Amino acid sequence: MRNISISVCVFCGLFLFQTLVYGQNEQLLKFTNGEDQAVTDNFYDDITLLNITEREFEATSISVGKANPLGDKLLSKLKSKNREIYDQAQKITTSFELSQGNNKFYIRGFNSINLAPFRNGEFKVKCGIYLIEVRSKGNISWIPIIIAIRKL
């Protein structure tokens, strides 16, 4: 009986460790150029390097909702890297629920996007994004922000 209790505790401990270490909830976002990238929705570590590229992808729009703000360290680094993107990123309040195959994404979108066409029903969309590459000591993450979206 004691061995079973120890085994259960070890299993729970390993499961918790895996969840904490790998729990960034990254999923592969497939771009129109054929590439794919694991993306996450925020970044809180100390940032050593930040790069911004533009990409496009197609997905199914499911709904529109409220977005949580970006992390303070990320916004601070954006401010020094690109003031125009920072000005829009700090005001983000919208999140798009999108799907590609079995993957579901909640991706922030600039407030300048007209939301009226995306409130009713599911349909195919094409999104233009800023893909923000964020590096810290031993960690690289990619955060997408929708800058344009249109129905297909």
What is the pTM for the complete model shown?
A: 0.79
> For residue range 18-50, what is the model confidence (pLDDT) as tens digits?
333 333 456 899 999 999 999 988 887 788 889
Q: What is the mean pLDDT of residues 83-88?
A: 94
- For all residues of the chain together, what is the average pLDDT? 83
Q: Which of 85, 108, 88 is nearest to 98 (CA)?
A: 108
Q: Which of 99, 126, 96 is nearest to 108 (CA)?
A: 96
Q: What is the mean pLDDT of residues 99-122?
A: 90
Please give the pLDDT value at position 27.
Answer: 84
CB 27 within 8 A of CB 103: yes
Q: Is pLDDT above 70 for 5? A: no
List Cα–Cα distances, 48 to 23, 71, 138, 143, 150, in angstroms.
22, 15, 10, 15, 34
